[in-house]
Amino acid sequence: MKSEVNKLRAVVQRTIYSSVKVNDESIAGINKGLMVLLGIKKGDTQKEAEYIMDKIANLRIFPDQEGKMNLSVLDIKGKVLLVSQFTLYGDVRKGRRPSFIDAELPEKALPLFDYSLAYLRGLGLEAKTGVFGAEMQVFIANDGPCTILLDSEKVF
């Protein structure tokens, strides 16, 4: 039986435009780049964050001159919109109402989310975010569509 390990989850979408609103106020927006929804699991550390952020920054999902997915967001000088989403740890295997027992508590998740954002910026990316813990409306113009699922346990 596989032991339970810590792992961040990310839904990465290639986008031509993405934005976040809170209380009908535009908080952040990007043009060409990546929209990233990030789920933090109980016990996750900077090690998992570094793995996922490095993978996101170097993920070759943008077309080159021949139309092949061969360029990263760094290569195209794109931007990243990073939004925390604890519901990525919603477990619906039992019943119909999701359980979020595996999602990290906000007071522990926020420092790791901030670290992840700073890590992306440290790689040279312009990275924006919504408001951690707020009720947000996220608008995504998915380019392709192209959506990639990542987790630090490398399940997918």
Check if 85 is active-site.
Answer: yes
SS3 57: helix
> Is the Cβ–Cβ distance between 79 and 18 less than 8 Å?
no
Check if 129 is active-site.
Answer: no
User: CB neighbours of 42 closer than 8 A, spacing ≥ 6?
Assistant: 6, 102, 103, 104, 105, 108
Catalytic residue among 87, 100, 137, 147: 87
Catalytic residue among 13, 85, 113, 129: 85
Check if 87 is active-site.
Answer: yes
Catalytic residue among 13, 15, 62, 86: 86
CA distance 52 to 93: 25
Match 């408001």 to its residue by tokens. Answer: 131
SS3 120: helix
Active site residue ranges: 85-87
